[in-house]
Amino acid sequence: MIKKYLVLILCFSFQQLESAEKSEILLAMDKYNEAFILADYDQIIENFTFPVSIITSERMLSIDTKFGLQFVYKKIRGDLPEFYSYSKWNNIDIQVMDKNIAIVRASFSRYDKDEKKFYDGSGIYQLKKIDKVWKIFSLIPFQSIEKL
């Protein structure tokens, strides 16, 4: 009987720990999104740990410096149309691999100043817990997935 209670307590504790980790990861993703919306490059960079990899269908970047990451994000953010207003997460799926590594698959939409959606995209973000804070170290942006 005691073993059953112990197993239930351990399961409940693990679920609460996992829920707390997921909440922290969601907070990190929201901080990143808010900085992106505001084009606050210093805050965008604070959401990353180095080296950073950004993988697209055209290229793979390995970025080792804050200056390099700021350059990339000024290009990404600068290429958005002038009518861009904000981005909103549509769905975030989090997999905690261990206590310090997580993979996030997120979909988002971008909106104009009239609150009209003009773009849907997705990304796979890999995060690492550094000094009790989740930070992005890898990003793979994409528009859609083709299932094989």
Interval 81-123: pLDDT, tens: 999 999 999 999 999 998 999 999 999 999 999 999 999 999 9
Query: Exposed/middle/buried for 60, CB within 10 Å: 0-12, 13-18, 19+?
Result: exposed
Which pLDDT score is estimated for 74?
Answer: 96
Which pLDDT score is estimated for 147?
Answer: 62
Which pLDDT score is estimated for 143?
Answer: 80
pLDDT beneath 70: ranges in the chain: 1-18, 144-148
- Please give the Cα distance from 29 to 26 (Å, whole number): 5
* H/E stretch holding 127: strand 117-130
- Please give the Cα distance from 2 to 144 (Å, whole number): 50
Which pLDDT score is estimated for 19?
Answer: 79
Which pLDDT score is estimated for 20?
Answer: 86
